[in-house]
Structure 1
Amino acid sequence: MKLVIAERDDKEREAIRWLVSAYSLPIEHVYTAATVEEMMVLLEQEAPELLYVELDMIPYDQWPRATAHVRLFCRRVIAATAEATFARAKQAIDWQCVDLLVKPLEPAKLKQALRTAASLFPSRPSLAAGGEGPHHDYRSLFCDDPAASPHVWLVQAEQPALSPEVIRFLTDYPFRGRARVLPLTYMAVCLLFDLPGDGKEAAWKLLRDWEEDHHEPLAIVAMPPDGRKTVRAQYQAARRLLETTFFIGYRQVIAPAPEYEQQRELDPFLTPEEQRQWIGMLERFDYEAVKRWLQREFWHWTPPFPSPEMVRTRLTSILAQIRRFMKTYRLDRGMTEREYMRLFHEILYNPVLYRIVQELILFLYRLLHEAKQAEEGARADAVERGLRYMEAHFRDPSLTLEKAAAAAGRSPAYFSHLLSKKRGITFRQWLTNRRLEEAKRLLRQTDLSVKEIAEQTGFRTAHYLTRVFKAELNETPTAYRDGQRALPPR
């Protein structure tokens, strides 16, 4: 592979050239240019697979010509700039750059960009030293061809998006002896022919080397040679062993063991008793009980493990109970609905069980908090609806608790309970106080008779108004009026 480095800074050019040689990148020839003219000449002469170019070195009037050369003579471009602007980003997009780096350059980012660009070209015929023979290719994974039994490793990143980076890492890795890397969807198979022992020590070393430059976890299933089994049989056993990462996580070297050879039975659906437990925990907003149930059920698994798909199905059974709870409180919409759908996706596709359970616990914490607020809001709304009705109809002698409760959308007993809890007063006390308050206002501000005031305030008769007045204020309505009028004006 050929690389042209177009950069005005002499030291930057030499640093990039050194980086290419130091990291064993699949680049055989490196050419450098200090001007746009030199760059275009090199592009015409060498037609390189890869161009590193400093965008700031290209004058505006030469941009169309430079663009034409890049599109005609170069396949991949890595751009760099000291100007982190939208204009530079648009130029990089126009050239369909693999990456746009911002100066000062970070060696790790430049190395990553070069590896990414190099990976976009066809792989070399042999991925490691030593001819392994015709049987040690993809056919050996799917056909029972007789062949010498190598070590069979299955390597997978926890995040599927990292699979191309894993392939690049394995392709460049200095395996001991003859090796072959066979990329698959979301994983890679390594066939290793000269490893001593069971190969676990070498697998752990590869894992440590990966983690020097990557934070994302990796898992390796290491199958030692077995003269009784074909590569295909070893590969199939490795695929089954890889399922254990669902329970134990990544950052693991997994080797065959007797406890992995069996599978635990698991009912994928909640029993009627478990459904009742979930209904009760959710209705009580008992977050701690929910958390304990999930941790007891899904954390701290020991072999033999059940099928991951059975566990995922069981989790979706729990999700069905949660869905009904959400509908009860009308939380199956907006942000909560989007979070629910995201959790459903996690249950189906997250590769590690304890991460799914943690996401489920966090979601339930937020959901129960929102449901409790919704219930309290509904209670408050019911009280307010009832009070508004009572305020509008307190002058009506036929106003009853049943009518106020019906207006609030609650039963009489429950509305009475809510009113006492929220306002600290019974329906009868509120009604008597409100009628007395209005009667006192009319006595102070009008010349209406006691009989007329009783009729306007819901007391039915003057006698009843007088009796309530004396019981509450220890005086008659007439005495109250006289006393108020004797007071000096405010």
Structure 2
Amino acid sequence: MKLVIAERDDKEREAIRWLVSAYSLPIERVYTAATVEEMMAVLERETPELLYVELDMIPYERWPQATAHVRLFCQRVIAVTAEATFARAKQAIDWQCIDLLVKPLEPARLKQALRAAASRSPGRPGLPTGLDAHHDDYRSLFCDFPSAASAHVWLVQAEQPALSQEVIRFLTDYPFRGRARVLPLTEMAVCLLFDLPGDGKEEAWKLLRDWEEDHHEPLAVVAMPPDGRRTVRAQYQAARRLLETTFFIGYRQVIAPASECEQWRELDPFLTPEEQRQWIEMLERFDHEAVKRWLQREFSHWAPPFPSPEMVRTRLTSILAQIRRFMKTYRLDRGGTEREYMRIFQEILYHPVLYRIVQELILFLYRLFHEAKQAAEDARVDPVERGLRYMEAHFRDPSLTLERVAAAAGRSPAYFSHLLSKKRGVTFRQWLTNRRLEEAKRLLRQTDLSIKEIAEQTGFRTAHYLTRVFKAELNETPTAYRDEQRLKPSSPR
């Protein structure tokens, strides 16, 4: 077995090489790479059975090319990262990694991952068993071969990933009109069709009907007709983008090229302060209908150009953060309710269709309201969380006092202050100042409001008072902070 270690740190590379030799694994040859370019060159030259790769070393703009090389030239991947984030986890999932390790590495954990990788059944690197004859067809998906541009390119995917192999079997046996190549990928299949008349949509609908004769789960087909201006690779990349629109329109669809779907439109993924207040009030009132109307208005009836599905998922997690605070207020962040919350979180991250995520979220909120009412009746409400929710909703009011917050929490001012310091490690005044400053910093970064207007919107009585507090806490003026932030380069999306 061949192993490629793609890692930026010299000492890390040598340590992993030494561990591989010390563990007596069935690895005969080890190659190393310090850059993504070196990694791709070694993969192409050696076609190793196993790749150990530091995901952080791959720049955003090189990710598609690195993905193509990994899928084409390597069977098994162990990924490692220093950033335990959703983005890294999604990258590991996209590559179907055997494991995702988080630095600093534990030798025993690495040993376990290497053993699991070494025990996998061997096959042709980068290609599913039995598809050697289609090697050049696979290459056409990742390299620009103008001679192959006369084919129809279809992407076929089931809504349920578990059915991927069943879809591949169905397509392999399907009586396509004329010559066809079926190229299985991780969770979908590419069909290259060479003799179809017209745009191929009628044939694609026939395929969907034939599938549904024996299957209940829906399919989606992206049907890209030949385009003399585009190679198969360009058609495939455009089809991948179109396939993502199933998040909004659902499956059981034949999706044709559409210029309005080629670019995502902008969407602020985070709730505005006004939206946060709306959610706090709806949750506090146990307002089933208001919650349902808000979610349906926000996430139903989408029309192209669509926003990025990842931005929509992030927006849903922003709502989930408000729900989490509500759960803590009523001490529901445990047991079965906590498990249900985590299930909804997973649905938001991974479910392929938006309207089903929203349905699940609405049903969860209905159950949560019922449990919260019961908790309120049982007098199990956390006074600190209730007070914090009140403070979050009213911190922009310059007349907000400890007495008002304590009354909302159902405790005396002295006792609430004691509980807040004990549980959160801050005084009422410290929390209020910090929250107002955070909001002031956000407005300085994202708006052109004057310092006076920002002071009015964040609970500071005057621009002078905002400046004084800003300098005391951050050692600079609001104007200097704004100028400094605007000089920073924007992060790539």
* TM-score, normalised relative to structure 1: 0.51
In structure 2, the partner of 1:290 is 291
Q: Does 1:123 align with 2:130?
A: yes
Partner Cα distance (2:272, 2:350) in 1: 25
Displacement of 1:147 in angstroms is 1.4
The 8 Å contact of residues 223 and 255 in structure 2, kept in 1 or not, is answered as yes
| 1:143 has 2:143 as partner | yes
Residues in 2 aligned to 1:379 and 1:245: alpha-carbon distance in whole angstroms: 43
1:176 alignment counterpart: 177
Amino acid at match of 2:305: P
Deviation, structure 1 residue 262: 3.4
- 2:238–2:262 contact (8 Å) kept in structure 1: no
Change (3 A) 1:151 1:261: same
CA contact (8 A) 1:126 1:180 kept: no
Tell me how far apart the structure 1 counterparts of residues 380 and 235 of structure 2 sit (CA, whole Å): 63
Query: 1:15 aligns to what?
Result: none
Amino acid at match of 2:130: S
Q: What secondary structure is seen at the aligned counterpart in 2 of 1:213?
A: coil
Aligned partners of 1:291 and 1:361 also within 8 Å? yes
Instruction: Report if the CA contact (8 A) 1:198-1:223 is conserved.
Output: yes
Instruction: Report the residue type matching 2:146 in the other structure.
Output: P
CA contact (8 A) 1:264 1:305 kept: yes
Identify the residue that residue 351 of structure 1 maps to in structure 2: 352
Structure 1, gaps ≥5 residues long? 1-120, 128-133, 383-408, 412-490
**Gap change, CA 1:347 and 1:379, over 3 Å in 2:** closer
Within a 5 Å distance, the mapping from 1:451-462 to structure 2 comes to none
Residues in 1 aligned to 2:147 and 2:319: alpha-carbon distance in whole angstroms? 48
Contact 2:156 2:220 in 1 (8 A): yes
Which residue of the partner structure matches residue 276 of structure 2? 275
- What RMSD over aligned residues (CA atoms) do the two structures have, in Å? 2.3
Distance (Å, rounded) in 2 between the aligned partners of 1:334 and 1:320 = 18
> What is the DSSP-based 3-state SS (H/G/I as helix, E as strand, rest coil) of the residue aligned with 1:138?
helix
Whether contact under 8 Å (2:331, 2:380) holds in the other structure is no
Superposed displacement of residue 286, structure 1: 0.7
Deviation at 1:299, TM superposition (A): 0.8
Determine the C-alpha separation between the residues in 2 that align with 1:290 and 1:379.
24
Report the Cα distance in structure 1 between the residues aligned to 2:179 and 2:369, rounded to whole angstroms.
57
Cα deviation for residue 124 of structure 1 reads 6.5
Alpha-carbon distance in 1 for matches of 2:360, 2:380: 30
Give SS of 2:147's match.
Answer: coil
Q: Where does residue 360 of structure 1 map in the other structure?
A: 361
Q: Which whole-Å CA distance do the structure 2 matches of 1:410 and 1:319 have between them?
A: 28
- Provide the residue aligned with 1:98 in structure 2: none
Q: How far did residue 123 of structure 1 move? A: 3.0
Residue of structure 2 equivalent to 1:393: none
Alignment of 1:420-439 (within 5 A): none
Three-state SS of the structure 2 residue aligned to 1:378 is coil
Contact kept? 1:157, 1:216, Cα under 8 Å? yes
Q: Aligned residue for 1:202?
A: 203
Rounded to whole Å, the distance in 2 between the matches of 1:246 and 1:341 is 21
Amino acid at match of 1:139: R
Percentage of identical aligned residues: 87
The count of corresponding residues between Structure 1 and Structure 2 is 259
Q: Deviations over 1:176-230 (max 9, x none)?
A: 0000000000000000000000000000000000000100010000000011110
Shift of 1:410: 5.9
SS at the partner of 1:156?
strand
* Correspondences of 1:307-346 after superposition (within 5 Å): 307-346=308-347
Q: Distance in 2 between matches of 1:310 and 1:379?
A: 36
Query: Mapping of 1:16-165 within 5 angstroms?
Result: 122-123=129-130, 135=136, 137-148=137-148, 149-165=150-166
Distance in 1 (CA, whole Å) between partners of 2:315 and 2:231 is: 36
Using the TM superposition, give the Cα deviation of residue 376 of structure 1 relative to its aligned residue in structure 2, in angstroms.
1.6
* Partner Cα distance (2:247, 2:380) in 1: 44
Query: Contact 2:330–2:380 at 8 Å: present in 1 too?
Result: no
Equivalent position of 2:264 in the other structure = 263
Q: Is the 8 A contact 2:265 2:305 kept in 1?
A: yes
Q: In 2, distance between residues paired with 1:363 and 1:246? A: 21
AA aligned opposite 1:310: M
1:180 aligned counterpart, secondary structure: strand
Q: Distance in 2 between matches of 1:155 and 1:122?
A: 20
Is the contact between residue 141 and residue 232 of structure 2 (CA under 8 Å) also seen in structure 1?
Answer: yes
1:410–1:205 distance in 2 versus 1, CA, 3 Å: same
**Deviation, structure 1 residue 259:** 2.4
Q: Give the secondary structure class of the aligned counterpart of 2:213.
A: helix
Q: Which moved more, 1:262-271 or 1:328-337?
A: 262-271
**Aligned with 2:292: secondary structure?**
helix
User: What is the identity, as a one-letter code, of the residue corresponding to 2:344?
Assistant: L
Deviation at 1:287, TM superposition (A): 1.1
- Give distance in 2, aligned partners of 1:222 and 1:358: 29
Take 1:144 and 1:264, find their aligned partners in 2: how far apart are those partners? 28
* Larger radius of gyration between Structure 1 and Structure 2: 1
